[in-house]
A and B are shown apart, each in its own frame.
Chain A
Amino acid sequence: MSEPLLRVTDLSVGFRAKGKPLAKAVRELSFDVQRGETLAVVGESGSGKSVSALAMLGLLPGTAEITGSAIFDGADLVGMKSKELRTYRGRRIAMIFQDPMTAFHPAFTIGNQIAETILVHGLDDKEGAHRQAADLLEMVGVPEPGIRVDQYPHEFSGGMRQRAMVAMAIANKPDLLIADEPTTALDVTIQAQVMEVLAEMQREVDAAMILITHDLGVVANVADRVQVMYGGRIVERSVVDNVFYRPRNPYTRGLLTSLPRLDGARTDRLEPIKGSPPSILSMPAGCAFEPRCPHATDVCKERPAELESLWLEHESRCHHHAELPDWGTPVTDEVNA
């Protein structure tokens, strides 16, 4: 396999508040992103999925303690001077945020802001950049781009703003798109439109994408590979089919059985994961999922599990991954017992 576009090794992110222990939001995170692929990062609030992306791009406040490395095309983004980092952000790596209302500056027109990202990264032609902004808006399906380009963010609906954000992200044909919950704030019919545009634009500029989301439906729709995070660590990682059809980690399985489904027969009773996620200030000494896990034993209390390779690009962090019951209908019964 060729050199990955991004190689993250042992990335840890902690926050220190006065008189409190270091709150570790991300723990020794390692992963690769290949050119052109879509890697979905799945987890619930507090799992560290957003913080890891923000850390790589130098977008966390100064109180964050970041260690490890994130090699993007030969250069380490962690510890890079902010001036140098700026030559990557918005040009070679672009980010799409959840809330397009706060991500755009309310006092500048949409066209201005898209043109700015083009101008900052080299083009020295204001009118050309403005024209390009209008073209980009047309590409992402904003109607009447010639008028819309001179409007302000508040004049756009939520869906249109998110399209404009996609336009801004692809303006410099980046190699990597990081989309952090890009459709969570949108209604489903609008979400379908935006996901369609996002996938199309990704193909158009031939970029890789890290898609951060809690929505397993969106993941099933677009991802090539999936990594599931819990308590700041990856607990399972594989190609999309394995994660949905042959999950080998109790947390992944719990997420799937928690979901009410639209497809297939309706189940009478959901199978939630008991308890709630651990606080990053007081992580269990052993496996982070142990207090909630139906398969936990003494060894899970004693020491954390390693992320082990199972077969064919499938990894799971579980002491008992080999002994887990077969996945399918019988599993829920077994968990229940």
Chain B
Amino acid sequence: MSSNGSAPLLVVDDLVTHFPIRSGFLKRTTGWVQAVNGVSLSVHPNETVGIVGESGCGKTTLGRSILRLVEPTSGRVTVNGESITDASAGELRDLRREMQMVFQDPYASLNPRMPVHDIVSEPLQIHGTPKGKAREMASDFLAAVGLLPEHGNRYPHEFSGGQRQRIGIARALMLEPDLVILDEPVSALDVSIQAQVINLLEDLQERFDLTYLFIAHDLSVVRHISDRIAVMYLGNVVELTDRDTLYEAPAHPYTQALLSAIPVPDPHLEATRARVVLQGDIPSPANPPSGCRFRTRCPIATDLCAEEQPKLTELSPGHEVACHFPLANGELLADRVN
């Protein structure tokens, strides 16, 4: 799972996605929701990059903008060196063979009127495979995700949440994509089922040489599955590094606060942890703060943070942080505050 040496599979360069806010009788644009605000990252073959953040941070919009399921405002995305952002509708259809998406809600993302083998084989049929052949392959992929061939004749409502998510995964794999964007693929599932699906995703990655962009809000799940992780806050990546560095030496105050906010299933540890509880709510992406977007909740913000937005800069090789006052290796935010 090394990311060095090989050319990146996915390159996102300064991607911006703003949504217009329209109001009044003439539906004039009165403002912009700045959902994704200049995100750059690259993902190497066979790598899993996790995108974490709270609601409204732009992680889902980022995933959809990469596939152009929503149209980005500016910036550039390439997959295998081919530009997604410049592709025509026809070219885009061909490019989508290489990149697929698994959605969060296994109840809303499957057509309730279609039997499962139709749901799973539809992508192949769209891309020109004859129906009989497509069905045959659908059975193979259903088996690969742990479902039985006879499940193909049933409808989505006959399945549990975990099984439905397996169907969604089978559908995404049918075209044998290189890149799979997984948007909160396990957050709707119970813990015992969640672990099954995570293990399945890891097995499939190995078997089919997949590259994952794994979008989630649950830092423990992201830690488990990712090689590198980008933390997002209000449309920006605030920290980007490999998994172990992020959890052992988080340098951005937001990353530290996020990690310390998560209760861990260990009563003694819970009783002794130094916790920084962030004050206030996440600001609206329609009206983000000036300068650093985290400054309104940051316990160590200064005047500089209100004036100038910090750029994502390399702190050490492979560890990028967007903060004027990053925390040193081993330094706790709680100590800096006091």
A positions within 8 Å CB-CB of B: 44-45, 157, 159-160, 187-193, 195-196, 214-221, 240-241, 244-245, 254-263, 266-267, 269-274, 276-277
Contact = CB atoms under 8 A, between A and B. Distances in A.
A184 B318 CA distance: 34
B319 interface: no
Contacts of B267: 220-221, 240-241, 244-245
A262 B247 contact: yes
Given A255-B191, A260-B223, A272-B198, 11 more contacts: A159-B281, A187-B54, A188-B261, A188-B262, A216-B265, A220-B270, A221-B263, A255-B192, A266-B247, A273-B196, A276-B193
Nearest to A226: B267
B223 A276 contact: no
B217 A262 contact: no
B258 interface: yes
A295 B57 CA distance: 44
A217 B190 contact: no
A196 B193 CA distance: 29
B257 A272 contact: no
A190 B194 CA distance: 23
Most buried by B among A259, A260, A261: A260
B221 interface: yes
B264 A189 contact: no
B270 to A, nearest CB: 5
Contacts of B269: 220, 263
B16 to A, nearest CB: 24
A255 B262 CA distance: 18
B229 to A, nearest CB: 12
Contacts of B224: 260, 266-267, 270
Contacts of B281: 157, 159-160, 190
Contacts of B55: 187
Nearest to A187: B54
Contacts of A262: 219-220, 223, 247, 259, 262, 264
Contacts of B243: 266
B59 to A, nearest CB: 12
Contacts of A256: 265
B22 to A, nearest CB: 19
Nearest to A257: B195
B261 A192 contact: yes
A254 B279 CA distance: 35
B195 A271 contact: yes
Contact of B190 (A44, A218, A221): A44
Interface string B263-304: 111111110000101110110000000000000010000000
A274 to B, nearest CB: 8
B111 interface: no
B185 interface: no
A219 B265 contact: yes
A215 B218 CA distance: 12
Contact of B191 (A157, A240, A258): A258
B158 to A, nearest CB: 12
Contacts of B258: 188-189
A270 B263 contact: no
A256 B265 CA distance: 8
A187 B220 contact: no
A274 B219 CA distance: 24
A269 B202 CA distance: 9
A217 B264 CA distance: 4
Nearest to A251: B192
A186 B279 CA distance: 14
B244, B247, B269: most-surrounded residue (chain A CB, <10 A): B269
B61 to A, nearest CB: 16
A87 B92 CA distance: 64
A218 B257 contact: no
19 contacts: A159-B281, A188-B217, A188-B262, A189-B257, A189-B297, A192-B263, A217-B263, A217-B265, A220-B263, A240-B267, A244-B265, A255-B191, A258-B194, A259-B220, A262-B220, A266-B243, A266-B247, A271-B195, A272-B193
Contacts of B129: none
Contacts of B198: 260, 270, 272
B336 to A, nearest CB: 18
Contacts of B264: 217, 220, 261-263
Contacts of A271: 195
Contacts of A260: 195, 198, 220-221, 223-225
Given A262-B220, A263-B269, A189 B261 contact: yes
Nearest to B244: A266
B265 A258 contact: no
B190 A214 contact: yes
Given A44-B192, A187-B54, A255-B191, A276 B266 contact: no
* Residue from B195, B199, B275 having most chain A Cβ neighbours under 10 A: B195
B168 interface: no
A261 B265 contact: yes
A157 B55 CA distance: 12
B153 interface: no
Contacts of B261: 188-189, 191-192
Nearest to A258: B195
Interface in B197-250: 198-199, 202, 217, 219-221, 223-225, 243-244, 247
B29 interface: no
A272 B297 CA distance: 37
Contact of B263 (A215, A245, A258, A269): A215
Contacts of A159: 281
A93 to B, nearest CB: 26
B162 interface: yes
B109 interface: no
A218 B265 CA distance: 7
Question: Which 6 pairs show the lowest CB-CB distances between chains A and B?
Answer: A217-B263, A272-B195, A260-B224, A187-B54, A216-B265, A258-B195
A126 B220 CA distance: 48
Contacts of A255: 191-192
